[in-house]
Amino acid sequence: MITVRHLSKYFDGRPAVKDISVEYMPGQCSLVIGASGSGKTVLLKSIVGLLEPEEGEVLFDTTVFNRLPAAEKKKIHCRMGMLFQGSALFDFATARENVRFPLDFFSQMSREEKADRVEFCLRRVGLENIGDKYPSELSGGMQKRVGIARAIALNPQYLFCDEPNSGLDPQTSVMIDRLIQEITAEYNITTVINTHDMNSVMEIGDKVVFIYKGEKCWEGSRDNILTSDNRNLEEFIFASRMARELKLRYGNGSPSQD
Amino acid sequence: MIKNFLYETGRYLLFLRRVFSRPEKWRLSVRQFFVETEKLVINSIPLIALISVFIGAVLVIQTSNNMTSPFLPKMYIGYMTRESLILEFCSTMVCLILAGKIGSNISSELGTMRITEQIDAMEMMGINSANFLVLPKILATTILNPLLTLMSFIVGLLGGYLIIVLTGMIKVSDYLTGIQFAFNGYYITYSLIKTAVFSFIISSISAFYGYCATGGSLGVGRSATKAIVVASALILTFNLILTRIML
Ligand SMILES: Nc1ncnc2c1ncn2[C@@H]1O[C@H](COP(=O)(O)OP(=O)(O)OP(=O)(O)O)[C@@H](O)[C@H]1O
Ligand SMILES: [Mg+2]
């Protein structure tokens, strides 16, 4: 479980994330949604320790993570997997070596076991055949998927994904969403996903947090998100014409009764 | 200005402390050492050899033009060429050239890794990225660049030899006697130590600026420029200090 308490992060005196408190449960996909520039990435990076929040604390289970000394932080980092918004694959390594990288550092596996694990992870993201390619030779969506394979290589206890399916076609997006949902349930991972894709929200949003201009504006699940009466959230969800028409057709009730 | 200088120096020292910690996995760091050796040292051989052969030749021509007095034996042309090469060219000049070549390589590579979040990704895995990425670079250049200096010395003397054979400006035997005349082995030590120190400066400074790059591709360019300027200035300063101490 991850607990965030009154977290604020400022850039040049201006808050990018303001007084956010939220809990992320194990075995659940928690989605953080919000417009571009609303502070999703900053919140995520403050949680994992890549940014130092000015105020508030982050607890992993019962440990106050953001005040730990570096050596202690490292131990918890080993149990995290993270997918960056820009994939952040290592340019100097092939796709296969990228996935193997954390294994080389932190697992006691034999060479064969590692190779098996790498193939397994690549297969799960649907990329068996590109193991020998370098990141610069892969499409953006493929890079994302290799990034996911790398994030799950060590069976993390906490999984963070920054926009896992931006830049992917709808079919692959759904595949990635399902994959994340499956492993979250299977290994009881605490998963946090930044997204602005409503499909993902309806597909896997066990818990949804809506951020508006750096502040938490709404919290709930996919079951009650469409019926919420929060104005900002409504504007965010029903921004597209199709969404508006669907909403008109089904009134303000739940549109998911097929 | 002074405050800024102290601040930067402090950050540099903290950075070095992270670099010089115990590697996570020795095997991986050793492998990285060989990768960096090839990239930074072996790949510099052609450039250094090319420059050295020309400089050796030019030194011979210039020295002989300046030694018109019939009372000075021609042998001194070889002697002077040798001393110029070993004392200054093969260490200081070669390192200033390397500051441009490997300095920009190191800082742009690390800078790009920083702005594309590859360094963050490594930290997220719990890996000390400064140690894993930078230590092999510093060790490879500091330990092995002195060999480049030796090579430069030999190739430079060869360049002088070639120009004499080609033009016949003095007797080859005079040149060969000259380059063996009053040979002081300590100068070699002096030269190698200088190169090791300068190489440490080049690799650590350019790694520092690259590792701390901010502000997109412009920032990467800025960090490379800054790395080369600062490294060159430090090389010149330490050249003075080391020469004062050692000679
Ligand atoms: N390093 C930084 N320095 C200064 N300001 C920053 C920095 N990083 C983010 N910001 C600011 O913080 C705010 C939130 O940015 P953030 O990257 O979290 O947005 P986001 O919700 O992830 O958007 P997107 O969906 O486009 O990725 C933005 O207004 C941005 O300008
Ligand atoms: Mg973002």
CB distance A41 to ligand 1 below 6 Å: yes
pLDDT of residue A202 exceeding 80, the answer is yes
- Tell the residue nearest (CA) to atom 1 of ligand 1: A11
Q: Which of A98, A106, A150 to mutate to test the interface with B (most CBs of B within 10 A)?
A: A106
**B25 CB near a chain A CB, below 8 Å?**
yes
Rounded to the nearest angstrom, the minimum Cα separation between A188 and chain B is 20
- Tell the residue nearest (CA) to atom 16 of ligand 1: A39
Question: What is the ipTM metric for this complex?
Answer: 0.89
By three-state DSSP, how is residue A176 classified? helix
Per residue in A227-239, pLDDT tens?
A: 888 888 888 888 8
CB distance A11 to ligand 1 below 6 Å: yes
Per residue in A70-129, pLDDT tens?
A: 888 989 999 999 999 999 999 999 999 999 999 999 999 999 999 999 999 999 988 989
Q: What is the pLDDT of residue A253?
A: 53
Looking at A87-96, A169-178, A249-258, B59-68, which range is the least confident one? A249-258
**Burial track B179-191 (b if 16+ CB lie within 10 A, e otherwise):** beeeeeeebbebb
Q: What is the third-level CATH fold of A2-75+91-237?
A: Rossmann fold (3.40.50)
pLDDT of residue B99 exceeding 90, the answer is yes
CB distance A47 to ligand 1 below 6 Å: no
State the virtual CA torsion across A211, A217, A223, A228 in degrees, nearest 10: -130
CB distance A34 to ligand 1 below 6 Å: yes
Looking at A253-257, B68-72, B80-84, B119-123, which range is the least confident one? A253-257
Task: For chain A, give every domain's residue range.
Answer: 2-75+91-237
Q: For A50, name the nearest residue in chain B, comparing CA atoms only.
A: B120
Average pLDDT of every residue of chain B = 95
pLDDT of residue A257 exceeding 90, the answer is no
Cβ–Cβ gap A77/B124 under 8 Å: yes
Q: What is the pLDDT of residue A252?
A: 57
Q: What is the pLDDT of residue A251?
A: 65
What ranges in A92-240 are assigned the alpha helix state H?
Answer: 95-106, 111-124, 140-152, 170-187, 198-204, 222-225, 231-237
Per residue in B100-150, pLDDT tens?
A: 999 999 999 999 999 999 999 999 999 999 999 999 999 999 999 999 999
